[in-house]
Amino acid sequence: MKLKRIRRIRKHVNPLAVRKEHRKFKGFKNKNPIFVDVGAYRGEFMNQLFQKFPDHNYILFELRTLAAQKLEQLYGNRENFAIFDGDAGRNWRSILEPSIKKGVKIKKIFINFPDPWFKEKHKKRRFINESFLREIATWMPTEIVFVFQTDQQFLFEEILEVLEGSPFNDIKFFEGSAYGIPTNWEQAKLNKGEKIWRMEFRKKPTSF
């Protein structure tokens, strides 16, 4: 008998087609600094960061409903974790602005190994794009630092170009896992000996 080969295909979800909105979150009960993870998947990275900074707050965005449900199961009972399913871009302002207005520090925003969206016509699905940066530049304070890590050199170069032409052109390259914590995706790539490209960026104080 011939065994049927089952191919596991993890289909990408188009973030622009996921319209779920979160409008009720007004921030955490305390005013401790917040770490943000865009595309947290199983949340291991944030969980390890939590071991280092247990008094900080954590915002996890995850596009995939099932992954977000899993995050909820794993970390939903922690007071300092807030989990949001759906497109992070669509919910960016409503989730982050209330805390910023209260003077809470957003310590770092991680965009770890985002889906590359190779095709030209799919570029607009990328989390970091010109219109997103233009919009957030109007209200996000300069001191907020984004961390971008990827195993895709072409993506790194393209995003770098977008950043250089935006107010977020204060850019610093770095080596080694952020906070010494490799993400799941990163570890899989490192195990295969692949290279990782990394940078931090923020809005130039003189931009406005």
Binding site for ligand SAM (CB under 6 A): 15, 38-39, 41, 61-64, 67, 87-89, 112-115, 127, 183-186
Residue 149 DSSP label: E
Residue with Cβ nearer ligand SAM (31 or 188): 188
Strand pairing of 197-202 and 170-173? antiparallel
Residue with Cβ nearer ligand SAM (74 or 142): 74
Nearest approach, Cβ of residue 49 and ligand SAM (Å): 12
| Catalytic-labelled residue, pool 55, 115, 151, 170 | 115
CA atoms within 13 A on the CB side of 108: 13
- How far is it, in rounded angstroms, from Cα 4 to Cα 82? 42
Nearest approach, Cβ of residue 206 and ligand SAM (Å): 30
- How far is it, in rounded angstroms, from Cα 168 to Cα 176? 22
User: Is 115 among the residues known to form the active site?
Assistant: yes
167 in Cβ contact with 207 (< 8 Å): yes
Nearest approach, Cβ of residue 33 and ligand SAM (Å): 20
Residue facing ligand SAM at closest CB distance: 39
Tokens of 147: 């961390």
Indicate which residues carry an active-site annotation: 115
